[in-house]
Each structure stands twice: as C-alpha cells, then as structure tokens.
A and B are shown apart, each in its own frame.
Chain A
Amino acid sequence: MADREERRFAEISRESVKFMAESTGVELGDDVAGLLAEDVCYRLREATQSSSQFMRHAKRRKLTVEDFNRALHWSNVEAICGYGAQDTLPFRSAKEGELFFIEDRDINLVELALATNIPKGCAETMVRVNVSYMDGKGNLEPQGTVPSAVQSLSDDLLKYYQQITRAILGEDPHLMKVALLDLQSNAKIAALLPYFVYVISGVKSVSHDLEQLNRLLHMVKSLVQNPYLYLGSYIRSLVSSVMYCILEPLAASINPLNDHWTLRDYAALLLSHIFWTHGDLVSGLYHQILVSLQKVLSDPVRPLCSHYGAVVGLHALGWKAVERVLFPHLPAYWANLQAVLDDYSVSNAQVKADGHKVYGAILVAVERLLKMKALSLSQQSDGGSSGQTGFAGGSICYRVSSPGLSPPPEPLSEATLGIASHLQAGGAGCPLEEWTPVPLPAMYCELYSFFGDSLAVRFSTGPGDARKEPPGPTSNPDTTRKMPQLTANLNISPRHDGSPRTDPTPPSLAATGSGRSLTRSCSSSSSVQRSRSSSRSGQRSAGLSRDVFPKARFTSSQTGPPAFSFLIGGRQMGLRCQGRRPFQTNFAPTPPLSAVPPRAYAHKLPVIGRVGKPVRRWACSHYSLHLPL
C-alpha cells in the first residue's frame, strides 16, 4: 500500500499480491498490484464484517471459517474450502526469506478410506435438566449443590470420577500421583465436586487404614489447590473430614506400630493450608473449629492422641490460636499431662510415650507463639516510634504496665491477620472462655515454669543480637536474670553422620534430618525437648531413670563432657523405616540449674523437664518421639 502511516486493519501488501499473481503465472505491474491489494483488503473487511452476523445468530463468540464462507456465499463469492478444521492451523515462518505460511499437511485419502479404525460417532446430543436455583435463593450456593438425585452426570464425567477415585484409592502410587495432579488442575470437574466431597467424607469408615486416610487427605489437598473449583460451602465438609483425621482417636492408632502421628501432622498442615487459601469462604468456621479444638483439649477422657491432634491443630491455625486457646488452658492441662508423664509403670509406657508426643507438640506451639509475639511486638514498637500507633514508647511502655491491659494492636504484617480477625469477630458471646491477653514476659515466665530450660534453650542460640530486651526489672524482678534473649531465629545445622557427637560444640542446636524441610523445625525442636526432659529426669530421679528408659539400646561409657549429643531413635524408624538414620541432637548445657527460681508451677514441673546432671550415657528415646518424616 502506498501510505502506511496508519494501520487500522490487517493489510495485504502489494508484494503479496504480486507473489500470488506470480504463482498463477501472471505478471503484475506495481500500480496494478497496489490497486488490487487495496481492493482485496476492502473486500476482505467487508466479508468479515458481514460474517460476524452469522456468528451472532449462531449465538457464538468465536468467528468460524464457516461463518466467513457463508458471508462469501451470500455475496456471490465462492466459498474457500479446506479450512473447516476445528483446531487452529499452525502459522509458521520459513527461515529463508520473510515467508509465512499455514502448515497444511497432506492427507492420504486412500489411507483414510481404507483405514480399519473407523472413528466412533460423537456422543448423542441430548438435553439434561437440573434445578439450578430453588426459589431464586440458590445464588449463594454454587451450581454443584443440586441434590444429587436431581443432578445426573454425563457419561464422561462419570467415567472420570470412577477412574480418579479408583486411581487415588488404588494401589499404584504412580497412578495416584497422576490422578492427584489432574484433580489439582482440571477445570471441568466442578460438577463432580459434590461426589468427591462425598468420597472424602468417607474418612470415617476407613479410620483403621492409615494409608487410605492419607490418600483421602491428599485428595482434599488437590481439590483445595484446584484454582478452577469454587468450593463454597463444601469447604465445611472438607474441613470436617480433615478435623476428623486430626482429632479422632482413629482405630489405626490402637496399634502403636501405626504412624498415625504423621497423619495428624499432615492433616493439621492441610487445615492451615485450607484456612490460608479458603478461609474467607465460610465465615464462622474458624471460630467453630477453635471451639471444637478447645473442647477436645479440655476433655481429659479423650486419649492423648486426640490431645496431640488438638495441639497441632491449634499450632496449624496460627500463633494467635495458640495464644487464645492453648495458652490459657495450659495450666489446667498441664496437671493431667504431668500425671501421665510421671507415671513410670511399665503398663503406662505406651501412654507415657503418647504424653511425650503431646509435650513436644505443645512445646513447639508455644515456642512459635513466643517468637511470633515477640516479632509482632517488635514490629509494633517500630511502628510506634514513627507515631503510627497509639502506643507511644511501644513495647517498653506496654511491658512495664501490668498484665490485663488491652491487647496489642494486630501487627499488619502478620499473615494470620485475616484469621485472627475471624477469631475476634466471633469472640462475642462465644463459648470460648474469657481471654485476656497476657504480655509477653509474663507469658514467657509462665511457660518457662512449665517447660523450664527446654523452652529457654530454644531461644538462647540466636546468632544476632537480641532484638528485644528482656522486660524491665520493675515488672518481673525475679525473671530478669534467667530470661534468655528472645530471638526469632532457630539455628539448625544438620548433621550427617549418625555417630554420637562428643566434641563440644558451641551453644547451638543441631539436628540431623533427612526428612522434609517442612517438618524439620518440628523434629529438631522435639528432639531438643526430648533430650532436655530425659536428661532432666536423669538428674532428678536417677534411680528411676533406668525405668524410664528401660529399652535404651545404648549404654554410655563416657563420663559427661560439658556438651553432649543426644541420639533419638524413634520406634518408627526402627521398625518401619529400617536403614534410616536415627536423629541426633547435640547441645550445650544451659544456664545453671540453681538459677531457676521458685515459681508458682515449679512443683508441678515434670521431672523430665530439668537439666543439671551431665548425662553419662547415650539414651535412646526409643518410645517417645515421633519425628514426622
């Protein structure tokens, strides 16, 4: 075209016209080609414009070749054949020269005609009816909530459903993986959602089979992660299935060989994932779950594995949930737990082992609580210095004042903000017990009274300087000395050799782990706690300690170095995962025992909680710690 200053439309260039003419053996002059090109463009545009009405009347959004041909037909132009394919033809460029063409493969008609694999006819066109909205009120629900009696599935969907469920619940792990992946990414399974939810709700019937439970949980995860699914109120059903796995004393947990702890951990992880991603779907659900977790925790009749579930559940719901539910409940619960832990009878061994699990879980939860709270306070104090919040003077001012003051404002950077707001919104008139926020130092002191140094040691090893000073002497004069620096850092240095470590390492926490990084902090912390407790118990009741660890496989021949390592060989490892390395921890002794002040709960402290006497042998906590791997 002569003037190219403005291109409103696709244009066919003079050169193209010339090429096309040449291909049919006609020479064209420049001016003729130019005129032709312009005319061709106009005719094409006209045909396109008139073809759009065929599209509109066919009630489609996509202009097809057929539409265009109809437009050509009605303007007395021959239709263009050979482009009726539904899929788009690949448009390619030839490297030599600026040439673009549509790849159009030759089709061997003879082959096609003589082919033996006759294509099946496509499925029959049919009409299916479903009640979409009852009384105009169905709008809140997605369309999938049609009563299943009314809704009928197409054959393809039904087949898909069968294949998927078979693959997930079947034996082949590879197939399962494929099925889960598809469930995660398939955009067209919305109609099947109720069915899948129904399958998942079957957790109650397979509580004896950890493997199946695990698969069902994976199914939940896939559904939750599918971006095309609107879960809507189904989230409630999914959450209840997950909660079942977390809380219920599953039939499978009767047999101590079954690794139901992993399942609970995974379910808790899933729960937190659901709330992170879909927490806004069902309001009040968060609150409801908190209540049910609290109920389980406060029910002494429940087995310890349920309590464990409640603790990891709370932990999964964020540190605010821990602060809100677990922390205030801890004094009451502690008595029960301690009773379990203090019972050294052989018949109690199993229960006691479970008790240690709970102990570890609580410790992890509490640690996170303290760290996050410290972090939020420090951020808040940063904000306060800039005059943003009402807390002039920030954390110091707050700390000096007595407990019972209004809670600190939610730090905006805290990711659980959304959930926490749920919590507070539902707080009015809720059956949750009255809750007054406890300032951090008080909280630490109280927790310290429970856990002793096993808690303190977790904060003592931060590499950097403390970001936050211990509370002022006026408020808590007796804790000032012992208060370790609170840092949000946890130093983990994996160890790779399984041999016991004897070299005195600087105060650091080390845990070997070949497991998933997700659970590493958990495992390391548990092991620390375990080592602490065992060593403590060794010190407190030396005589009993042999009873405590009757199955210890290692007897120590060394005498105590100032720092020691601790090897934990979980039973699971021993029996189920032969060949895996046991876990090993080593750490330095903590501040002297004499520094521990007499505290309100001191007498309740479990004997396993204190350290003082150097351990002279390698103890293998054969029965206590499960490291979620």
Chain B
Amino acid sequence: MAAVQGGLVDADEDKDIKTEASNDSWGNNNANDGRLLSPSPGSSASAGSNKSAAGASEEQQTLLAVLQFLRKNKLTESVEILRREAGLPEDSLEPKGAESSGAGSGGASGGVDLEGGDASSLLSRVTASSTAGAQAPTKGPIQSAAWLTDKLSHHSASCPTAKLTHSAGEDQPDVNVVLSAYSQQGDPALYEVYYSGLKRFIESVLDCHRAELSQVFYPLFVHMYLELVYNNHESEAKAFFEKFSGDQECYYEDDLRVLSSLTKKEHMRGNETLLDFRTSKFVLRISRDSYQLLKRHLQERQNNQIWNIIQEHLYIDIFDGMPRSKSQIDAMSGSLAGEAKREANKAKVYYGLLKEPEIELPLDDEDEEAENEEGKPKKKKPKKDSLGSKSKKQDPNAPSQNRIPLPELKDSDKLDKIMYMKEATKRIRLGPDNLPSICFYSFLNAYQGLTAVDFTDDSSLIAGGFADSTVRVWSVTPKKLRKVKSAADLNLIDKESDDVLERIMDEKTASESKILCGHSGPVYGISFSPDRNYLLSSSEDGTVRLWSLQTFTCLVGYKGHNYPVWDTQFSPHGYYFVSGGHDRVARLWATDHYQPLRMFSGHLADVTCTRFHPNSNYVATGSSDRTIRLWDVLNGNCVRIFTGHKGPIHALAFSPNGKFLASGATDGRVLLWDIGHGLMVGELKGHTDTIYSLRFSRDGEILASGSMDNTVRLWDATKAFDDLETDDFTAATGHIHLQDNSQELLLGTYMTKSTPVIHLHFTRRNLLLAAGAYNP
C-alpha cells in the first residue's frame, strides 16, 4: 500500500543519468558517488523534483486526522514526531493544509533534522522526488491505518534524535489507538464458555465443513486472549490459554509462544506481534455454505462476543463452491495473518522475459580457431536460434521492453553477453539422468562467522559477508584481484594505447583476496552487480553499501532502513537494487540515487530475503510473517501474496523463464509457486533444517536447495511443473490439490561435512557451486 508513485523518476531523467554513468570512466563515477556520499539538505532538496503526489490525498487525510487527534490530547511530542516523520509542514495541521504537498518518507528527514530551526521550511521542500507515499488505488482506509501504525511503530528509527529524547512515551498514543478496540468489556468468565460452545458446534458439523470452520479457532483464540489480557483479567487469560492453546495447529506454535509470555496490559504496548494481529485482519477463506452455517449458529445463540470479533478482526473471504479439505487448507495457511485474499492475487503479472538485445556477434576468428574448427558452424546455429526465436515473437506475458527504464548496454556488457552465449552453447543439459557435478567452496577459518555469500554470474569471483562487519572478495580464477592505480600514476599512462585497461591496474596490489571494511555490524546480504564492477552489502548497521571492485573502496552508503538490513540484491540488468530489513519494508534503489525509488511496505514482519524477477519488473520478498509478496517495480503495488510457509522465509529463487518462484523457509520445506496464476504448485519436503539457498539450473530443469542441515538436494523441477493439471488453474477458486510427490521429485541428497550450505550457484555451463563455512 505504500506504493510510492510520486517518486517515479521519469524515463527521460533516468536515461540521462544512466547514459552518464555508462559513459563515465570509473573516475567520474567515483566523483559522482562521492557527491552522493555527502548529502547535504540543500542538495537533496534541490535534487528532489517537486512533484505533487498524485492520489495521495486520501492517505493524507487520515494522517492529518490522526495528528489532530493527538494534538487534541495534548500529545505534542508525538505530533511533532509524526509530523516530521511524514514530512508535513507545521501549518499542515490547519484544515486547509490538507492539500499541501505529498507525504515524504522518513528516509530523508533524519538528515534534515540536524538543521534545527530551519527544519520545517526545508521539510516542506523535501517533498520527495523519490519517497512520497502514495495511495495504491486498491487499498482501503484500513490499510492506510495499518500503514500509519507501521510508520508510527518505526518512527523512532527514522529520527534518531527523537528516539533518544522521547523513547519512553513514544509508543503510547498509537498503541492505545490500536488497542482500544479491545476495551469492550464482556464477562471474562464467559469467554471459555463461548469458545468451547463454538468448539462443540464446529465439532458437530458435517465433516466437509468442519475443516473450514476450524480455521476460525486460531484467530478467535488469539483475539479473545488479547481481550482478556487487555482488560486486566490475567488469571482468566492464563486459564483460557491453558485450556485451548493445545487445540491450535502446530504451525502456530511460535506465535503462541510469544503470546503466552504476554500476560499484562502494559506488555501489550510495543509488542510487534500483537500489533500485527490488531492492525491486519486475519484472512480466512471459507466456502459460502460453511460460512452460512457459522453465521446461523452464532446468531441463534446470540453469541455477540464471538460475532463481534469475527466482524472486527477477521476478514472472511467467501467463495462459492466445494468446501476445501483439511490438507488443502493446511497447505495454504500458516502465515501470520491468515491466507491471502483472493483478489490480492488477481492483478496481471508480466512474468515473461524481456527480449534479449540483439548483438551482432563479432567474428573473432582467432578464438574460434583456437577452440576447434569443426565446432564453428555448429556453435552458431543455436545462437541464432535462441536469439531469433526470442526476437521474432514477443512473449505475450512479457512486459514491454521499456516498462521499467533499464540501462543501456555498454560495450563491456555486450562482450560479456557474447561470452555468456558462448558458454551457453557448452552448457550441459541437465535432467534426472544427468545430474550436475557439485563443487563445494568451503570457507575455512571463518571464526568471525560467515553470514552471506555471493558468486558473480560468470563464477569468477566469490564474496563473503562476515559477522565481524567485513566483506571479503576472492578470485576463484588464477586471475588475481588488482586495484586501479592512484590518480597521480594514472596521469602517467598512455591513454591512447590499446591495453589501457590493463595499464591502469596496479600490479603491486595483486592478491587472491581483498577485504572491504566499512560496515559497523554483521553483513547479512551481499550481491555482485551483473557487470562485476560493483558489490552491494547490507548490514546490521542499517545501511547498504556499494563497493567498487576496481578500487576496492566503498562508493556509497545507502541509508534509509535504520534497522538491520537482512538482504539486498542487484537487478539482473544492473543499476537497480532492492533491500529489505527489520523495518518490514523493502526498498528499491538505483545506484546513483541515495534515496530509495520505491518502498514496498505491507509485510507484517521483517523482510528476510529479497529477489529480483529475471525481467527486473518485479521484486519478490520473503518475510518472517511467513508470506511471500511480489511487488511491481513500476508502481510499487503488491501484486501477489503467497501464503503456505510455516516459518520465516529465508530463500527465494525465480525460475529462469520467469514463470515460477521457489521459496524455502525455516520449516525445511520448499514451496513452488506459479506467478501468473498466483498459486502454489508444489511442495518439496526433505530438508530437516532452514533452507538458506535455492537456485534453478540455467535451463530450469533442476532446482537445487541448500540447507542448514548440511545437505544439498536436487529436485526435478521440470517434472514438478509439468505435473500440474491445467484444469486447476482455470478453476477460479484456485484451490489446487497437491499430491505429495516429494520423494519422486528428489533427485539426490548430497552431504557436506559439518558445513551448512548457505549459497548455491549454477555456473553458465551448469556446474553447481555450493558455499558454506566449515564449522567443526
């Protein structure tokens, strides 16, 4: 819902920057980035194009209403914080201020704060070329409120100064607003009676309805418990929990544990799990028949207590048709806020691949001859085929080529593409009978703790992020890593010579590995740029850093998350990258903008992993709220919500054709999703611990998963996706029945030696590389 529309840099401007970046030598880039490194309020204000946020008015109205409420209650501090957070001018609280400029995000305002008295006037100017919050058209007021509370619960992060001064009272107002819904008073003794009455009823209904109606138990249980706690009935709450917590599905165990520790009204403040329950309606999918049954029962019994909870805190998505079976329900439930609403997955997703740019292959005869004479004609054919087929017929599911402005290819990129295609012709065709070889990269002596690994696409470099805040880069090939010479030395070299690229490198600095220091907390995510010139790292210190692999220095620190950033990834086309963290927001950035271009907000808990769609038009995020969301980069909308995992999601992978998504979680299961239809299409069981890495082979036949249980498993992806019955898709209900065929799809289990597998990578020739730290 926090679609950031106002921030859309229009295509022309984008192109300008991009061409600049591509034409610049590294030195210019560096200078450019240096400017970005020291953002002054003045420059940021001038950089921001003052665009009015379209469609932001509704959300603003809500915001203003809340602000006025706070002021009325003499909570001036909170007003100040919220106002600063939202980037509203001082006078916006007057009714007429409602139509003033759009709401800015907190990202910039932290810096602005330092300006002191001048702040308010600057704030009104920093209306966010890139950060204005805009209302996604499909969202209603409830989500706005949710957005608001989300903001509120995190506003301390956005303004560090405020956090220090007001840390005591800051959470009070908003939480009270949120929790006041629980203040309705019923007889605490009757809660058990109500609940067990409903339980008896559901147990007595027909089998086909029982499974569906049983979904009601968990949200009801939680909300009734919270009501008891909120109204200070501690002992009743405990007794209630004692009596009925055993009935809940086992996959809610983690939430129940949090809940059980919560027995006092005071504790409810600032408890994130609880806020999630309140701010989002728990979504249930129930068939019309079952729902009618429930409704009739509750009305007959005059059971208003339960009926109120259902009305207020539950969203029941009623569908016409056969009630679902227990296994069907279990497959989809487990997330923090129930299942996804059906309409949440109705939007059209352009999952097709972009047309490959046509590159005329230079006939470098030497190379060809060196390889072998005979292979020459053979090699070209597939190249032409693969290029030709793609360029001739446009994939109907593909987005238009310029839906998202992408950087133009540089000469070096074209060379790399040619290399890629050459390698691709030598690629091994994998299948159930032809499994890949696996090379394991063991990190030895990694006492400081290996937290993230990435390979370059051509498998020439490997980087590790460590808990001691360092990032280390190794060369996997005999070619050593070299820095560029210093500026003074660069002046001396002959710039006209053919081998200038070779001459600018400083031989003295050649080494097998380089250490990048700069973060002040564990590095949780790293990603190489596709052109191998940059490296991104995200850290606990709340920043994402961009490193140059030419100079091995930090170019930019992207600040905005303010909480640990769990993951980051470059777009497959470079230039853009996405990051997600503890603040429950995923952000889209461009390397030459120090503020995010989009903020993807909607997850109810940490964003634990982020991944770009192969066509760069979408971003998938996994979260500890046990959902996966797919976001449209163009407008920031959430276009898919996938529920079904029973634990925080730690690995995501798109299939190379862009049609499918695989996800792995702490529950040790891999789930497969059809993006176009928004459906779960497979479940791969086998791992016994958290899955930290997923990767499809280059042609998509094999899915490799690496886990904390020290194994790599290979799955038959072709079969998993082929076995789908297409009828299921046409069925509007989207209730697919999954057969349990994990064992058939499992092609192999490969043990490591006390080495958790935290990264997997298929080389261009389909050799599987795995990486992890040896931990005896």
Chain B residues within 8 Å of A38, by CB: 263-264
Interface centre among A9, A128, A137 (most CB of B within 10 A): A128
Query: Looking at the complex, which of A57-65, A209-217, A359-367, A381-389 is the stretch in contact with chain B?
Result: A57-65
Q: Which of B271, B445, B608 contacts A46 (CB 8 A)?
A: B271
Inter-chain contact B450/A59, CB cutoff 8 Å: yes
Q: How far is the CA of A138 from the CA of B451 in the complex (A)?
A: 28
- In this complex, what residue of A is CB-closest to B443? A127
| 8 A Cβ contacts from B446-489 to A | 446-451, 462, 464, 466-467, 472, 474, 476
Rounded to whole angstroms, the CA-CA distance of A504 and B235 in the bound complex is: 91
- A129 in contact with B440 given A122-B447, A123-B445, A188-B776 (CB within 8 Å): yes
The contact of B441 among A6, A39, A127, A135, by CB within 8 Å, is A127
Number of B positions contacting A (CB below 8 A): 71
Are B748 and A128 in contact (CB-based, < 8 A)?
no
Q: Is the CB of A59 within 8 A of B451?
A: yes
B576 at the interface (CB under 8 A from A): no
Which residue of the partner chain A has the closest CB to B436?
A136
| Contact, CB under 8 Å: B439 / A132 | yes
Q: Is the CB of B749 within 8 A of A139?
A: yes
Whether A136 contacts B439 by the Cβ 8 Å rule is no
Give the distance to chain B from A174, nearest Cβ to Cβ, in Å.
28
Bound Cα distance from A126 to B540, whole angstroms: 23
Let me know if A139 and B748 touch, CB within 8 A.
Answer: yes
Q: Which residues of A contact B439 (CB under 8 A)?
A: 129-132
Please tell me if the beta carbons of A57 and B524 are within 8 angstroms of each other in the complex: yes
User: Which of B254-262, B307-315, B410-418, B728-736 is the contact stretch?
Assistant: B254-262
Query: Is B175's beta carbon under 8 Å from chain A?
Result: no
A401 part of interface (Cβ distance < 8 Å): no
Contacting residue for B261 out of A45, A74, A137, A191, CB 8 A = A45
**A76 — which chain B residues lie within 8 A by C-beta?**
163, 167
User: Within the assembled complex, what's the spacing in Å between the Cα atoms of A76 and B435?
Assistant: 51
User: In this assembly, does A273 line the interface, its C-beta being within 8 Å of a C-beta of chain B?
Assistant: no
Contacts of B435 in A (CB 8 A): 135-137
The answer for the CA separation of A487 and B489 in the assembled complex, in Å, is: 97
**CB neighbors of B among A1-17 (8 A):** 3, 6, 8-9
List chain B residues, Cβ under 8 A from A9: 261
Q: Is the CB of A42 within 8 A of B750?
A: no
Given contacts A59-B758, A76-B167, A138-B750, contact A133 B437 (CB under 8 A): yes
Query: Does A88 belong to the interface (CB within 8 Å)?
Result: no
- How many contacting A-B pairs (Cβ < 8 A)? 144
Which residues in B have their C-beta under 8 angstroms from that of A66?
Answer: 467
How far does the alpha carbon of A61 sit from the alpha carbon of B689 in the complex, in Å? Answer: 10
With beta carbons under 8 angstroms apart, the residue of B242, B262, B462, B564 that contacts A74 is B564
Q: Does A103 contact B (CB under 8 A)?
A: no
Q: How far is the CA of A453 from the CA of B446 in the complex (A)?
A: 71
Contact flags B232-262 to A (C-beta < 8 A → 1, else 0): 0001001000100000000000000110111
Q: Which residues of A contact B708 (CB under 8 A)?
A: 59, 61
Q: Is the pair B606, A74 in contact by a Cβ cutoff of 8 Å?
A: no
Residues of chain A in range 50-73 having any CB-CB distance to chain B below 8 Å: 53-54, 56-61, 66, 70
Q: Does B624 lie at the interface of the complex (its beta carbon under 8 Å from any beta carbon of A)?
A: yes
Max count, chain B CB within 10 A of own CB: residue among A41, A57, A131? A57
Alpha-carbon distance A136/B624, docked complex (angstroms):
33
Given that A59-B708, A133-B750, A143-B752 are contacting pairs, would A125 and B445 also be in contact in the complex, using a CB cutoff of 8 Å? Answer: yes
Instruction: Assess the B476–A46 pair: CB atoms within 8 A.
Output: no
Judge if B350 is at the interface, Cβ distance under 8 Å: no
Question: Are A136 and B438 CB-contacts (below 8 A) given A38-B264, A59-B758, A143-B753?
Answer: yes
Q: Determine if A57 and B608 form an interchain contact, defined as CB atoms under 8 angstroms apart.
A: yes
Distance of A54 Cα from B564 Cα, bound (Å): 9
A436 at the interface (CB under 8 A from B): no
Q: Is the CB of B185 closer than 8 A to any CB of chain A? A: no
Q: Does A124 contact B (CB under 8 A)?
A: yes
- A135 and B430 alpha carbons, distance in the complex (Å): 10
* Assembly CA distance A191 to B751 (angstroms): 14
On whether the beta carbons of A128 and B442 are closer than 8 Å, the reply is yes
Alpha-carbon separation in the docked complex, A130 to B769 (Å): 10
The smallest beta-carbon distance between A336 and chain B, in angstroms, is 51
Whether the Cβ atoms of B260 and A190 lie closer than 8 Å is no
B666 lies within 8 A of chain A by Cβ = yes
**Which residues of chain A are near B124, meaning CB under 8 Å?**
none
Q: Which residues of B contact A130 (CB under 8 A)?
A: 439-440, 442
In the complex, the answer to whether A134 meets B267 with C-beta atoms within 8 Å is no
In the assembled complex, B105 has its CB within 8 A of some CB on chain A: no
Q: A128 contacts B437, CB within 8 Å?
A: no
A41 — which chain B residues lie within 8 A by C-beta? 261
> Given the interface contacts A9-B261, A38-B264, does A132 sit within 8 Å of B624 by beta carbon?
no
User: B752–A58 contact, CB under 8 A?
Assistant: no
- Chain A nearest CB, measured from B436 CB (Å): 6
In the complex, are the beta carbons of A125 and B436 less than 8 A apart?
Answer: no
Cβ of A132 and Cβ of B750 under 8 Å apart? yes
The residue in chain B whose Cβ has the minimal distance to the Cβ of A50 is: B272
Whether A127 and B445, one on each chain, are in contact in the complex, defined by CB atoms closer than 8 angstroms, is no
Indicate if B528 sits at the interface (CB-CB under 8 A): no
* Interface status of A541 (Cβ within 8 A of chain B): no
Residues of B within 8 A of A70 (CB): 521, 540, 564
CA distance A139 to B750 in the complex (A): 6
Question: For A154, what are the chain B residues with a Cβ–Cβ distance below 8 Å?
Answer: 444-445
Q: List residues of chain B with CB within 8 A of the CB of A39.
A: 264, 266-267
* A137–B749 alpha-carbon span in the complex (Å): 10
Partner of B260, one of A8, A56, A139: A8
* Cβ-based interface call for B714 (8 A): yes
Interface string of B743-764 (1 = CB under 8 A from A): 0000111111100101000000
**Are A125 and B776 closer than 8 Å at their CB atoms?**
no
Beta-carbon contacts of A86-100 to B below 8 Å, as 1s and 0s? 000000000000000
Chain A contacts for B690, CB-based, 8 A: 56
B664 part of interface (Cβ distance < 8 Å): no
* A128–B648 alpha-carbon span in the complex (Å): 31
A341 to nearest B CB, angstroms?
Answer: 56
Does A233 belong to the interface (CB within 8 Å)? Answer: no
Q: Is B261 within 8 A of A46, CB to CB?
A: yes
- Nearest residue (CB) in B for A154 is B444
Bound together, the chains give a CA A258 to CA B409 distance in angstroms of 80
A58 touches B444 (CB 8 A): no
Q: Is A49 an interface residue (CB 8 A)?
A: yes
Q: For residue B262, which residue of chain A has the nearest CB?
A: A42
Shortest C-beta distance, A154 to chain B (Å), equals: 6
Query: Which B residues touch A135, using CB under 8 A?
Result: 434-437
- Which residue of chain A lies nearest to B267 when distances are taken between CB atoms in the complex? A42
Within the assembled complex, what's the spacing in Å between the Cα atoms of A46 and B513?
40
* Least CB separation from A48: chain B residue: B261
B568 to nearest A CB, angstroms? 13
Q: Is B566 an interface residue (CB 8 A)?
A: yes
CA distance A56 to B451 in the complex (A): 10
* Docked complex: B636-670 residues within 8 A CB-CB of A: 648, 650, 666
Within the assembled complex, what's the spacing in Å between the Cα atoms of A122 and B445? Answer: 8
With A6-B242, A126-B443 as contacts: A58 and B522 at CB distance below 8 Å: yes
Interface, chain B (partner A; CB < 8 A): 163, 167, 235, 238, 242, 257-258, 260-264, 266-267, 271, 434-451, 462, 464, 466-467, 472, 474, 476, 513, 521-522, 524, 540, 563-564, 566, 582, 606, 608, 624, 648, 650, 666, 690, 692, 708, 714, 747-753, 756, 758, 770-771, 776
Can you report 10 A-B residue pairs in the complex whose CB atoms are below 8 A from each other?
A59-B692, A59-B758, A70-B521, A125-B443, A130-B439, A135-B436, A136-B748, A137-B435, A143-B751, A190-B753
**A residues within 8 Å of B by Cβ?**
3, 6, 8-9, 38-39, 41-42, 45-46, 49, 53-54, 56-61, 66, 70, 74, 76, 122-139, 143, 154, 188, 190-191
With A133-B437, A143-B752 given, can you name 18 additional A-B contacts, CB distance below 8 Å? Answer: A39-B264, A49-B261, A54-B540, A56-B690, A59-B692, A59-B708, A61-B708, A70-B521, A74-B563, A125-B445, A125-B464, A127-B441, A127-B462, A127-B474, A129-B476, A130-B442, A132-B440, A136-B438
Those 8 A-B pairs whose CB atoms lie nearest each other, nearest first: A136-B435, A123-B445, A133-B438, A45-B261, A132-B440, A132-B438, A129-B441, A134-B437
